[in-house]
Amino acid sequence: MTEENNAIINFVNKYKSTITVLSIVFVIILFYLFFNSQLKTKKFEEASKLYYSWNINMLNENNVKADENFNDLLNSYSNTGYAQLALLKDSIQEYESGNTEISLNQFTMLKNLTNGSGNKLLNKIASINIARINIDLLNFDEAIKVLTTLPNASQDAYINELIGDIYLKQGNTSQSRAQYLSAAKLYADEGNNVGQRLIKMKISNLK
């Protein structure tokens, strides 16, 4: 027992400085994680209040205050879900109001914010809307590029169908048919009867 104690004491004495440094680093990391967690919590709380205020001001048609809330969300809390939901909602409203370029820019911003490890659903919604706006602007190649760069795009029935629609608008019937057939198979795999019926109609209407 004494020999074991001596071995431990000798080890501690030999590596005292290393153990001290590692202990300090460990404590610093713990403090960093704690304060970072507190900061994130506070940030989400502030973002939620801004999002609530933005919605209220939008409903009350207080556009000046609503714009202030919206800009604050984007400038200070762009990585939070609240800012991204506000961006999605406002992008749709801008499009419905005929402000196509503003809507396109905002959907692009939302896509960039949610790329990688961001919210995959919001990223997909933003990408589809970017493609749709580009279709309206007759930027067909850009629309296809946006859709095909989505993760697992070739395994998504709706994406295949939408790309088929784009090829049809370009007059490329063979590519359109290929995309529709892929979409039909994927809809069948999903058991989506509505999707299957719609895609069969599109295929039968091809010349």
User: 67-97: per-residue pLDDT in tens?
Assistant: 999 999 999 888 888 899 999 999 999 999 9
Structure tokens at 131: 């493609």
Angle between helices 193-204 and 173-190 (to 10 degrees): 160
15 pLDDT above the threshold of 60: no
Share of the chain above pLDDT 70, in %: 80
CA dist 140 and 53 (Å) reads 38
Q: How confident is the model at residue 34 (pLDDT cuts 50, 70, 90)?
A: very low
* Residue 147 near residue 169, CB atoms below 8 Å: no
User: 134-163: per-residue pLDDT in tens?
Assistant: 999 999 999 999 999 988 888 899 999 999
